[in-house]
């Protein structure tokens, strides 16, 4: 490992055990129950030590009554596990102007005030996808800078992250984001870690698959790091830590469990045994990538709509998938720093 005054810019592959990894779920269940610690315990039995919770934003200045109740439950959970708040809306709500950005960052700060034990805040979601972000990379740079300062003024300890998707030209977006950062003349970081969602490009590919073109899956780690290094070298952005904020493999539904689902599947899926294999491999691969600090599986329990996501570890009806056991074993290895990484 080579370290400069600008942080860790060159990291060689490890041939020994990996450091401990944060492993968790993208799961909102604890917001919707009066007993959120039951959800935390359930996640812990699967080896998870973190959860990312969505905090929706619809243009308001601060969380309303319902959202405040949800955040109070997240705070209770945060005293027993690592809680990450993902604050975002959808494309039509993209905060591109100064007034909207100030309102959004104030909302994120107010949400954090209700969950003071939260470990991290993600500023928006998959900003290289027009489903979520309809502004420019420069406008997102402005939002990150504003929220970084606002959130750290409220809580110096909190980790502030961005979020990109594996598809939708992430390399080009990150390059433009870095260029806007340089042009701004900012002398503070934009983020404490870079959030990325390294979903597979096709359903059954292995986590270490390499992709041509502007795609960054988990197997394209070296290209992701190279993009960040080239964009942010010799700037105030010293951390190149990476968090995998979402990943997952959708599995098919056994006929005897179909009554728990509705609609039609709209994408290719894998068998439950393949999902188990892929999930375990994905966690171990993340643990062996030197700058990766966290891995979150989307989600804990399948969505009911087949047009949604069935990448949970539990089928509707509370039946555990084979992936639950695979996740548990790999997560416990990763969180203990016991994954043996070869060269």
**CA–CA separation, 314 and 303 (whole Å):** 10
What pLDDT is recorded for position 17?
A: 58
Burial 18-49 (b: 16+ CB within 10 A, else e): beebbbbbbbbbbbeeeebeebbebbeebbbb
What pLDDT is recorded for position 18?
A: 60
User: Could you report the per-residue pLDDT of 16-49, keeping only the tens digit for each?
Assistant: 556 699 999 999 999 999 999 999 999 999 999 9
For 11-80, give the secondary structure using H, E and C: CCCCCCECCCCEEEEECCHHHHCCCHHHHHHHHHHCCCCEEEEEEECCCCCCCCHHHHHHHHHHHHHHCC
**CA–CA separation, 245 and 292 (whole Å):** 11
Q: What is the mean pLDDT of residues 166-172?
A: 98
Does residue 34 fall inside a structural domain?
yes
CATH code, 236? 3.20.20.80
Q: What is the mean pLDDT of residues 40-68?
A: 97
6 pLDDT exceeds 70? no
* Number of domains observed in the structure of the chain: 1
Instruction: Give, in degrees to the nearest 5, the angle at Cα 282 between 18 and 22.
Output: 50
Q: What is the mean pLDDT of residues 196-222?
A: 96
Does residue 263 fall inside a structural domain?
yes
- Helices (H), ranges, 185-321: 221-232, 272-287
Q: What is the mean pLDDT of residues 301-327?
A: 96
What pLDDT is recorded for position 2?
A: 33
Does residue 2 fall inside a structural domain?
no
**CA–CA separation, 69 and 123 (whole Å):** 21
Q: Confidence band (pLDDT; 50, 70, 90) for 342?
A: confident
Range of the domain at 39: 11-335
The chain-wide mean pLDDT, for the chain, equals 94
Does residue 4 fall inside a structural domain?
no
- DSSP conformation class of 179: H
What residues contact 80, with CB distance under 8 A and at least 6 apart?
Answer: 37, 40
Does residue 255 fall inside a structural domain?
yes
Q: What is the mean pLDDT of residues 219-224?
A: 98
User: Could you report the per-residue pLDDT of 278-298, keeping only the tens digit for each?
Assistant: 999 999 999 999 999 999 999
Does residue 3 fall inside a structural domain?
no
326 pLDDT exceeds 90? yes
**CA–CA separation, 337 and 343 (whole Å):** 17
**CA–CA separation, 94 and 110 (whole Å):** 19
What pLDDT is recorded for position 15?
A: 41
343 pLDDT exceeds 80? no
Terminal C-alpha separation, the chain: 14
Token duo for residue 167 = 């598809």
Cα 2 → chain centroid = 27
Q: Which residue has the tokens 């984001």?
A: 177
Q: What is the mean pLDDT of residues 161-190?
A: 98
Q: Using an 8 Å Cβ cutoff, are 335 and 287 in contact?
A: no
146 versus 6: which is more confidently predicted?
146
- DSSP conformation class of 138: H
Does residue 26 fall inside a structural domain?
yes
Neighbours of 84 (CB within 10 A): 26
Does residue 162 fall inside a structural domain?
yes
Percent over 70 (pLDDT), the chain: 94
12 pLDDT exceeds 90? no
User: Could you report the per-residue pLDDT of 235-266, keeping only the tens digit for each?
Assistant: 999 999 999 999 999 999 999 999 999 999 99
Percent over 90 (pLDDT), the chain: 92
């Amino acid at each position: 490992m080579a370290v400069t005054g600008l942080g860790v810019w060159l990291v060689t592959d490890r041939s020994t055990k990996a450091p401990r990894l944060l492993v968790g779920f993208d799961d909102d269940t604890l917001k919707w129950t009066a007993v959120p610690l039951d959800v935390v315990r359930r996640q812990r039995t699967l080896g998870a030590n973190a959860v990312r919770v969505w905090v929706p934003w619809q243009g308001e200045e601060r969380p309303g009554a319902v959202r405040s109740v949800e955040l109070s439950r997240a705070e209770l959970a945060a005293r027993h596990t690592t809680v990450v708040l993902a604050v975002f809306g959808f494309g039509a709500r993209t905060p591109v102007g100064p007034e909207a950005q100030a309102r959004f960052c104030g909302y994120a700060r107010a949400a954090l005030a209700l969950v003071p034990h939260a470990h991290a805040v993600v500023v928006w979601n998959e900003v290289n996808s027009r489903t979520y972000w309809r502004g420019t990379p420069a406008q997102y740079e402005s939002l990150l800078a504003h929220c970084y300062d606002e959130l750290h003024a409220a809580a110096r300890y909190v980790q502030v992250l961005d979020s990109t998707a594996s598809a939708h030209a992430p390399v080009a977006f990150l390059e433009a984001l870095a260029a806007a950062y340089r042009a701004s003349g900012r002398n503070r970081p934009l983020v404490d870690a870079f959030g990325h969602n390294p979903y597979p490009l096709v359903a059954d590919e292995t986590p270490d698959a390499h992709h041509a073109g502007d795609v960054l899956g988990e197997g394209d780690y070296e290209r992701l790091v190279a993009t960040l290094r080239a964009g942010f070298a010799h700037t105030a952005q010293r951390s190149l830590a990476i968090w995998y904020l979402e990943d997952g493999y959708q599995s098919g539904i056994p006929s005897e469990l179909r009554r728990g689902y509705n609609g039609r599947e709209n994408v290719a899926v894998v068998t439950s045994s393949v999902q188990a294999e892929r999930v375990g491999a994905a966690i171990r691969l993340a643990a062996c990538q030197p700058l990766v600090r966290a891995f979150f599986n989307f989600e804990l329990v399948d969505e009911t709509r087949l047009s949604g996501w069935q990448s949970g570890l539990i089928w509707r009806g509370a039946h555990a998938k084979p992936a639950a056991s695979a996740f548990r074993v790999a997560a416990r290895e990763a969180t203990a720093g016991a994954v043996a990484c070869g060269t």
